[in-house]
Amino acid sequence: MTLRTGRHFLQIPGPTNVPDQVLRAMAAPTIDHRGPEFAALTVRLLAEIKPVFGTQGPVVIYPATGTGAWEAALVNTLSPGDRVLCFETGHFATLWQEMASALGLEVDFVPGDWRHGADPAELARRLDADITQSIKAVCVVHNETSTGVTSRIAEIRQALDDADHPALLFVDTISSLGSIDYRHDEWGVDVTVAGSQKGLMLPPGLSFNAVSDKALAASKTSRLTKSFWDWAPIIEANRRGSFPYTPNTNLLYGLHEALGMLAAEGLPQVFARHARHAAATRAAVRGWGLEVLCADEREHSGSLTAVLMPDSPDGPDADQVRKVILERFDMSLGAGLGKLSGRIFRIGHLGHFNDLTLAGTLAGVQMGLEIAGVPVDPAGLGAALDVLRTP
């Protein structure tokens, strides 16, 4: 085993670095999940979490990863054969629509180039063409973690409203919640899907559905098979501060601590911090002479940046660069997923993060590119520091 000193740099876009105070909170003894102390914690948590989603409505917490919360959104609201419209923004959007098909839904998959978000104009065209209003739900990944592109959810909502179309709106915020501005109620989202291990600064293992009144009403007549994911018994038990199964007690201690940290910093400040770190990262990438994958200035992700490798037949691929950086500098970067495998690497800059963490991250990336033999302009790091020097 190689001897490592100092901390590993976990700069993948999730799981993210868990703050020490969250780790300490989770190290408390596990308590009786049917006892009074736990009931008080549950009631407090279910209130504390609402502002992060921007909702006054119920938030359902599952002891599962984000994938489970995707399934919960679909099976609670829809019936076999229902038509859903999904946008191919990248790898995660592709997985979500595959799940919808596997569950017996009819999926219209709007093709995309993995460099843009969901297109509100294309949505408007599809809704206008849907004379019988047979589309029951629209699924959008807010921040596509495989590409570093953030879809414009307010404009997606506007397209639904302009078409006066009753489809439910489902949004995956697994890598945006607590990092990028998001408003469940204001944007009329019906189910928001989230997970613990990205912007919420927790280990994997919790996921969430924020649920609108319209989605709750749809759940009364939905006929897809559900048992564990069924909102009704969970929301019912939550009223008494309990769950219909054993909740992951210690992760919930951590969630309470993490929500306290986000509230103390203030959500607008949290979003501004992420946007500034994303801007500094893009300054570095462009300074190196490389290209950011996201092709629309309005859609740059605050939580991660995907970097395109230069088109060079004999140069190293992105995975070789990541390997050099891991071996030499003990830093993990995100790999290209699906059809972007080997063509990009992803720099995570979300969660528990500050200016010098970013400076160290970008220094490691620059050195790794140089060592791997990618021709880069070393002025890239300085361009990022220029952004960071400005408060």
Ligand X SMILES: *Cc1c(COP(=O)(O)O)cnc(C)c1O
Q: What is the rounded CA–CA span in Å between residue 25 and residue 250? A: 8
- The nearest distance, CB 68 to ligand X, in angstroms, is 7
Give the phi and the psi of residue 161 in degrees, each rounded to 5: -65, -45
Give the phi and the psi of residue 164 in degrees, each rounded to 5: 50, 45
Closer to ligand X by CB, 102 or 263: give it: 102
- The nearest distance, CB 315 to ligand X, in angstroms, is 28
Structure token pair of residue 229: 């994911």
Closer to ligand X by CB, 113 or 236: give it: 113
Q: Which residue has the tokens 């993210």?
A: 16
Q: What is the rounded CA–CA span in Å between residue 236 and residue 298? A: 41
- The nearest distance, CB 144 to ligand X, in angstroms, is 6
Closer to ligand X by CB, 28 or 102: give it: 102
Closer to ligand X by CB, 38 or 229: give it: 229
Closer to ligand X by CB, 19 or 203: give it: 203
Q: What is the rounded CA–CA span in Å between residue 233 and residue 360? A: 47
- The nearest distance, CB 229 to ligand X, in angstroms, is 14
- The nearest distance, CB 313 to ligand X, in angstroms, is 32
- The nearest distance, CB 141 to ligand X, in angstroms, is 5
> Angle formed by the axes of helices 267-288 and 379-389, to 10°?
160
* Amino acid at position 104, single letter: G
Closer to ligand X by CB, 170 or 288: give it: 170
Distances (CA, A) of 250 to 23, 240, 246, 341, 381: 10, 19, 11, 35, 39
Which residue has the closest beta carbon to ligand X?
A: 66
Cα first-last separation, the chain: 41
Structure token pair of residue 292: 């950011």
- Spell out a b/e string for 222-244, using b for 16 or more CB atoms within 10 Å of the CB, else e: bebebeebbbeebbeebeebbbe
Closer to ligand X by CB, 69 or 358: give it: 69
What residues line the site for ligand X (CB under 6 A)?
14, 65-67, 92, 141, 145, 172, 174-175, 195, 204
- The nearest distance, CB 238 to ligand X, in angstroms, is 22
